[in-house]
Chains A and B, each alone.
Chain A
Amino acid sequence: SQQGEEDPQALSIQEGENATMNCSYKTSINNLQWYRQNSGRGLVHLILIRSNEREKHSGRLRVTLDTSKKSSSLLITASRAADTASYFCATVPIPRDDKIIFGKGTRLHILP
């Protein structure tokens, strides 16, 4: 069952620019997480934002959550070549059924 859906599916930007990815979901959530996956590797957790939070920062990452619109955004500032990866949002729905539900991801390509 697909809960989160990222937008856009793919994004190419110049190094140094900011990258914004969006995630929409369907049901109420306990929390929303963002993960990164480098090509052919496992996923790495980036940040978790709870349903009672509106914004969270971690280094060059900024995540916002709008529960009224059932959406979240991930902003990567001052992008670098190493940011080239796929980014997934993952939601934990309410009522909790003990699973995280992943979206299909946004492929981000940073151009030199």
Chain B
Amino acid sequence: DVKVTQSSRYLVKRTGEKVFLECVQDMDHENMFWYRQDPGLGLRLIYFSYDVKMKEKGDIPEGYSVSREKKERFSLILESASTNQTSMYLCASSPARGSLGDTQYFGPGTRLTVL
């Protein structure tokens, strides 16, 4: 079974802190994604990556950056956390470029609270 893990289930940070959310997948998937999920807004794509060191902006990249130094790991970085970044963050992966529309496998999520 595909396993996608996220470094924390719950995280509390203060405004202005730099925050790292880590995601690791164990199935050699090419594609990885970061979403945030807010009540009434559904899932919104922040960034995604086709390959190591490749990244593409999603629908709401402002205030975020990402890093993909290794194929299995995709990190989401909040350079200076703000209260409006309080949310549930979901990482996902999918097999290969060219099949980006195929099944995505999700991690358990990180609920981030910024005070």
> Contact residues of A with B, CB < 8 Å?
1-2, 30-31, 33, 35, 40-45, 48, 88, 90, 92, 96, 98-100, 102-105
B61 at the binding interface (Cβ < 8 Å): no
How far, in whole Å, are A104 and B42 apart by their CA atoms in the complex? 4
Contact A96 B100 (CB under 8 A): yes
> Contact residues of B with A, CB < 8 Å?
4, 35, 40-43, 45, 48, 50, 56, 58-59, 88, 90, 92, 100-109, 111
Mind listing 26 A-B residue pairs with CB under 8 Å? A2-B42, A30-B101, A31-B101, A35-B106, A40-B88, A40-B111, A41-B109, A42-B106, A42-B107, A43-B90, A43-B92, A43-B104, A43-B106, A48-B102, A88-B43, A90-B104, A98-B56, A99-B45, A99-B58, A99-B100, A100-B100, A102-B42, A103-B42, A104-B41, A104-B42, A105-B42
Extra 12 A-B pairs, beta carbons < 8 Å, given A92-B100, A99-B45: A31-B101, A35-B106, A41-B109, A42-B108, A43-B43, A48-B102, A48-B103, A88-B43, A90-B104, A98-B56, A102-B35, A102-B42
User: Chain A residue with minimal CB distance to B97?
Assistant: A98
Please name all residues of chain A whose beta carbon is closer than 8 Å to the beta carbon of B90 when the two chains form the complex. Answer: 42-43
How far, in whole Å, are A99 and B100 apart by their CA atoms in the complex? 6
How far, in whole Å, are A40 and B104 apart by their CA atoms in the complex? 18
Contact A45 B105 (CB under 8 A): yes
User: Chain A residue with minimal CB distance to B91?
Assistant: A42
How far, in whole Å, are A33 and B104 apart by their CA atoms in the complex? 10
Contact B109 A40 (CB under 8 A): yes
Whole-angstrom distance between the Cβ of A59 and the nearest chain B Cβ: 17
Contact B42 A42 (CB under 8 A): no
User: Chain A residue with minimal CB distance to B45?
Assistant: A99
How far, in whole Å, are A90 and B50 apart by their CA atoms in the complex? 20
Contact A45 B101 (CB under 8 A): no
Contact B59 A92 (CB under 8 A): no
Q: What are the 3 closest A-B residue pairs judged by CB atoms, nearest first?
A: A92-B101, A42-B106, A104-B42
User: Chain A residue with minimal CB distance to B6?
Assistant: A42
User: Taking A41-B108, A42-B108, A42-B109 as contacts, is the C-beta distance between A104 and B40 under 8 angstroms?
Assistant: yes
